[in-house]
Amino acid sequence: MSLVTTAPSSPIKHTEKTEVLDGVENTTNTIFQFLCNARSGISACSPYPTLPVIMGPEYERALVNLKNRGVKVRQITEITKENARYCKEQVKNIDELRHLDGVKANFAVSETEYVATSTLRDTQPVPEVIYSNVKDVVEQQQYLFETLWKKSTSAEEKIRQFEEGTTPEYFEVFTDRDREVVSQILLELAKSIRKEALILLPNARAMVRVDRLGFIGYIIEASQKGATVKIICPLSDENLEILKKISEQAPAVTILNGDNCLYGVYIIDSKKFLRAELKDPKAEKFSEAIGFTVYSNSKVGVDSLRSVFELLWKERKLNEDLKIHDKMQQEFINIAAHEL
């Protein structure tokens, strides 16, 4: 909802009503009166911040007036690379500005009133305004705003991401109906490997499933280009042929024998991870085997899973070394016994 400041021709009456107003003068007066009537707070939501065309004396005076009266202004908008600089100025002018991806709502609500407009384009005047001071309507819009507010993120953080060129954190959860989507995400992760891939497969057949998906081909290619690839997976006759393929085409890939577990983990370049529940161990396809899945670039999540993987890796490596030691010791004993 854009803040507009043109003096009203007549005040809005306080009898309960909901109405639609059109015409530049009517819409402007309605919005201005809404600002004047606010006593403690205005909560606004718009697909983009206030238009630069009203970043002038009238707009500045409106903000000063609201602050002088102790009216707190909160706004939700979509901060993009194109408007980040302008939003940075907005942060200085209003009490709280937050970001929400893909926000479409265009409204503002105070303690007693609600106004909404159609989406503004360029510098055109507001074509139409919906106004209401009906208590139920106002409370519904207050609830809607608070719901959106909880989903929004800090404007300062979003602006800093654009300035520093960093990627915002995400945490996506997928259920059974999203299985094919998860399959595509796993392939995209494999294609994106640059430095390192840490992979925990839940059972021997899991290696067969990801090979059919095309995942193994991508990690072989990544290894050939210099990436470090470590895999923990139960080894058996079921995945023997794939092990041979990896050994022949990408001998630098390290694979350790693991135990059956309830989930698979894929950590790529210490930046992203995918953790998929194993729902059907005997399934032939990856999409049929998985259940609840989490995909994220959360640093905390990545670091946590990486630590778990490294502990498992050290444990399995120690077991392998002990087996080799026991075998060598037994061979020595056999040789010594034969010599005697």
If phi > 0 it is left, if psi is from -120 to 50 it is alpha, else beta; for residue 143 that is alpha
If phi > 0 it is left, if psi is from -120 to 50 it is alpha, else beta; for residue 285 that is beta
- Sort 249 into a burial class: Cβ within 10 Å, 0-12 / 13-18 / 19+: middle
For 168, 177, 192, 200, 293, the CA distances from 245, given in Å and listed in that order, are 38, 33, 21, 18, 28
**What's the rounded Cα separation, in Å, for the pair 300 and 128?**
47
% of the chain exceeding 90 in pLDDT: 60
Q: How confident is the model at residue 326 (pLDDT cuts 50, 70, 90)?
A: low
- Sort 288 into a burial class: Cβ within 10 Å, 0-12 / 13-18 / 19+: middle
Note the pLDDT of residue 50. 60
- The superfamily CATH assigns to domain 18-164 is Endonuclease Chain A (3.30.870.10)
Residue range 290-294: average pLDDT? 96
**Domain boundaries for CATH 3.30.870.10 within the chain:** 18-164, 171-337
Q: What is the pLDDT of residues 211-270, one digit of tens each?
A: 999 999 999 999 999 999 999 999 999 999 999 999 999 999 999 999 999 999 999 999
**What's the rounded Cα separation, in Å, for the pair 196 and 245?**
20
**Which residue would you say has higher pLDDT here, 227 or 166?**
227
Note the pLDDT of residue 63. 73
Q: How confident is the model at residue 52 (pLDDT cuts 50, 70, 90)?
A: very low
**What's the rounded Cα separation, in Å, for the pair 44 and 59?**
15
Residue range 158-185: average pLDDT? 88
Q: What is the pLDDT of residues 122-155, one digit of tens each?
A: 455 567 889 999 999 999 999 999 999 998 988 9
Question: In what helix (H) or strand (E) does residue 266 lie, and over which residues does it extend?
Answer: strand 263-268
Model pTM score: 0.57
Q: How confident is the model at residue 61 (pLDDT cuts 50, 70, 90)?
A: confident
Note the pLDDT of residue 6. 41
Residue range 180-195: average pLDDT? 96
**Which residue would you say has higher pLDDT here, 160 or 226?**
226
Q: What mean pLDDT value characterizes the chain?
A: 86
- The superfamily CATH assigns to domain 171-337 is Endonuclease Chain A (3.30.870.10)
Q: What is the pLDDT of residues 301-322, one digit of tens each?
A: 999 999 999 999 999 988 776 6
